[in-house]
Structure 1
């Protein structure tokens, strides 16, 4: 038997067996008999089952054909809505049968996020809605989006199912959702529309009742003519054939020829005894599924997720292809219940990669009678125990048209929740498959766990002594949702010391720079005017860099990153990245600020708090810029030490920065060394928060590092004004960001550490012999002039507006500015070694302090 192409065009229509016995007829579009076959099932509400030949559920089909049908429907929806409404649309698919179809429709729309209903409850995820499917054997649908705002909005909602029989499911869905998330327009999509005229009228009446427009898009339409008493007749027929199967007879139709079976499969009908036959070879392949990429639309699947999947598919499929033995001519990729889209895309890619014929279908919980007749849509069924701990308890599951399908290899794709003992048991799916094919390959896709679940999963490990983050307005001038500070408030402690005294203590080894604070620089009126002018000219440039680094993080690191900025220079950047994610995707990303201290590492208690509340794999550390890369190296060493000491694993030590002039990281907005106005000031552009403090008499072993909140400087605070000025430029740079990100992701971003080498060279050339006293880049040079005792400033010849504030500060402090021709940075600040008042420099001249 080869049922993969028996679709009404290549042979006998697979509805004739049912039609002849029950008098059921398909009336309407001639394409219906190519799209549909008929089968029978034990169901008190409807005996017949419309079996799609192009859905990839019950009938193995070319994955390209399956995806193309959904994609084409999505294109039709996009034409119907137009560009503006399509950009605001959300696609909702139905579990379990239409989850892959809905994904494919969303692909056709191109820009739409996708969610499918589910029958698998997920503890800890809030339910955003639910509805009933009246004719189904399993009725309750749950909506469990990770993003609670996914269904909020006035854009069109596109509802996708494989067929419309009465329209009741659609009515129930729209009624339930419209009460909670009202909108002006709905588009209903299906492969076939089989409603009666009366049912179509009910939907139109309902649309008028709720005051919304409801459009319908289908590949073909018609009706099913059912004679009187068809339900009872069908139930009797199902009972008779099931009794025959239970008695040890195969389900062979008495009125038609029995097709030839594959040599390795002598029993095609209703297989419940697979373990007694010779088993094929079983193997497992690691797909190397991208970290944090959802396995499907159960909790939402965005266009960004789709891009990540597209990029990863070739490598994952190559792993699959290597696991399939040479000489195999016919391969089935078998998905798992609601997990339809990931196996479909793997199968479609495999179809292009191997010489073998590739087919795709999915297991199901729907019980259907199997009859081995070429005029019947379900020729065989494999029966096996449920293997994903379903909420409705143990039960049987089914794979149709696999036994007797002539497959030389079957690739079973399941999610990790379903990779259980039941799957591998002697009567489990893998053993059942191995009775019908020489080769079984298992591929497991990680089940996506929404972010809120990490807190529940780790609640018992949460350190009780660690407080919740500090937030504005009690601590900092930022809005409370913009950032949570994993710090302790030392505002009432006197920590400031004159700059010269601090420098002498630091260089003499008497104190660490993090044990005290410099006196906060109070900008002159001239300097404030310079800041605002610089902000006006650079806001768009900063906005683009913010967009590029944020998009890169979402594309490569996590679709819902937890932003953790390195206080305090990283914090304005973290807030801006959070704002970009809201602007571009409507995401409300968590953002925290933590302390890292050169020579002392990152705040380990802050890491423990983060691990107790979030998945460490989603944490992305954020800083403003790189200088020579000292903090980059500090963080890597600190994370390694944290894990070696028993701390939670999974933190990625790579920093995401706005600017990487030192070529120290892979994730950045730009590698240009330019003026970022937030570097021009101290606390008054960073939420009125000081740099962080780590001193043994103030910070105990169970405390967060400390910082001060300078409430008294509120009159000169420009923190929010800086953020607002940059965020206002987001719309105008959005297109440029898209192009830049595409180019960036395709480029080689391996850090060259060019900056570090330049600093070493400068340190030797100027007789300093200590790289910690060479501060490269506009940002670091600004810090030298504001906080330390500078010796001189090196400025790249020809540098213009980016150095106006540097020259002004240097003039105010009496620091010489020396132009250098081959400087890799725009400027470099030098602190003289062996600092003493009246010290001499390497050139024998007095150092100006």
Structure 2
């Protein structure tokens, strides 16, 4: 081995020695310090692809070599009957490679992820690990039932306790006469070897061991104490580079074959292997096109590294980008420097699929040019890990850097990537893995970060039947063909709370706004007069905007779109767009309504339903208007884990300059914003509460049947649609002008909100609600402090003036406001707060 051995630093300080086939062991292994009270050291493989980025050809080749050695030990007859079991998380990919080299043979790996509906056929403990419990969850209950050999694969065979635990657990239920243990290195002590021999004799079965290198690891008696002290004292390099906002992130649609599981958590058969082999060339070609070729021409942007700011859930982070930052999907991508170094990064147990993609990508790039191909590109492979290994930046140490990132399950790690000079990092994850912070952290260490999502395989017996959309008249006052609600009906649940109580709970952090509903505002006779006058005055303007945004969608997004409105403000707009498509093109456009919750994302079960029934590429998400753009950002962030969906929002009005698909950017009164459920099909805003919405449920909402006498939902639609005839030429002209215009989002609304927040001493942009629609919501649902009105806004604000007067809220006219008005919620609200005139602030 050339250069300094990557275990020398630890060996010198802890007195650890590798004995036996030393040269081969050093070629395969380095050493690092564990943050684990059960073991001081970690054997770091150079050919596993877990902690050390390495050529995928070397990783796959080592696994195949080990599998072929197992086949030689078994003989062809027994090899043909063998099944293979790999250990999570480290050896899931290695075990799969061994299965390939053996046959391919049927393969299963243990897992630490419980799956609802799948009962384990066995389990065992790994005492020395920081995450000890392993589950065996084969889809086929008879996976272990044959009498052929069972091959158990781990990266290192160090004591034999885990193997003995596994065989003991399985042999009781599935006895067999032969076992083979396969590992990259066998470093058991003489005592451990004798223990395995005794165990096999007691079992009455043959247990063979196959390894690429054999030896022992000599440890001093006080190695644990010395290791713990060294971890405390050893220098630890910081991988905490500042989060970047200019690093593009792209999504790569691999077109993963539906017949192939993402891994072997539930078993992987030779038939699956054949299907994957057939699909790999085209999937790797997708990577070539998306991440190696001209990225400015070929890659689909899904966002930058800027954290998504919620409209109430989380304040902007200190590293937030300035307000002029381009919206997700915008901007040119910087050129690659040469040579182009690509890392394919798997995620925890998902090791084999990323490895095979990396190996095929490496093969395609090399072609006839040897190790480097297009753009001088080279490919390396590694995965994230649960292991909290201590990093030391020294050539004689195996883990020279560590990136820490957050997931829903806790902290996870990426080793030896920070400072390694990778131009592009492609994260390969399944669709239940939380990659948000991982992508953000990686962006500090690469020019380009990409995400490829593989559908997580769910065995049929574990699949939960998807509910069907709710439709009127059983749910909502809309006609059944107008919209399908991907919601569950919570009409029988008492969810309403007084406005003051809700505001106090929301601002104190005691409850999320989506866990309850405001009491439905019942408009006075004067307010209803204002609504009808506003509708009469703006119907033509609304119809023009509806036609414009619909034609833009048809021209630029999909000729046969699937409209998905964000319930509930987007739903009347979605219905009107559907009506325009029928009016102008005799096109029957599907339309659904889904829930998106600020700070918690879009309903994932609704997305899964849509993906199962429509092409995600045809889905166009629709909302009524933009304020400061929080929901625009929320949508883009939520869709990162759902491949194929376009995160670009289409809205009727975009006064915040947050999107590129809109009917107008004027901030004018959209009459449907004046009312609540009575203009939205009698449906409440959506609800997300853990005791009401399970993991497989749609988000909830209520149908206010009792308000039918006050319902104007259909009359609103009819009034606007009645203006469609004769607008065709005006719409065509508006669409032509938009096509020629620079519609790049500038986020001027976000900038204005930040300025207003500071100017009025609020210091929380989530309490500033810009635009006519959002201001109306503040007056109807929240406890407002004051209203800022653009000087000379006119009749568009008549209903705002009336509501403000009813609630004792001052209206201040100001100059230079980019919106017609802005509603402010007091940041120090408590029960019994008063308005500016001294009157008690109560719900209308």
TM-score between the two structures when normalised by the length of structure 2: 0.49
**Higher gyration radius (CA):** 1
TM-score by length of 1: 0.49
